Amino acid sequence: MSQESPKPIKIAKIVVDPDACIGAAPCVTVAPGVFQLGDDNKAYVVDAHAADDDTILLAAQSCPVQAISLYDEEGNKIYPEE
């Protein structure tokens, strides 16, 4: 049974899948302190604490190939929803 309670999100872990990332870079545009493009044109996490959770979620949602996964403190996947 799922309960929809509007609890604030708590992002504990950000994972970029380099195989999925196509270097589209909106994640960098939305949260440049958190995501940067490497020499291989793949995004990587610079500083997971450089933006608030809403901004990080927005950045993950902005990825056209959903290469960014977010997890909470208990290791539950916050985004993308499955």
Q: Binding to ligand F3S by residue 25, rule CB under 6 A?
A: yes
Size of the site for ligand F3S (CB under 6 A): 16
Q: Binding to ligand F3S by residue 68, rule CB under 6 A?
A: yes
Can you tell me which residue has the tokens 């997971």?
48
| Minimum separation from the CB atom of position 41 to ligand F3S (A) | 8
Buried residues in 58-73 as b, exposed as e (16+ CB within 10 A): ebbebbeeebbbbbee
Q: Binding to ligand F3S by residue 50, rule CB under 6 A?
A: no
The rounded distance, in Å, linking the Cα atoms of 71 and 79 is 7
Residues at the site binding ligand F3S, with contacts judged by CB under 6 A: 16, 21-27, 35, 37, 43, 62-63, 65, 67-68
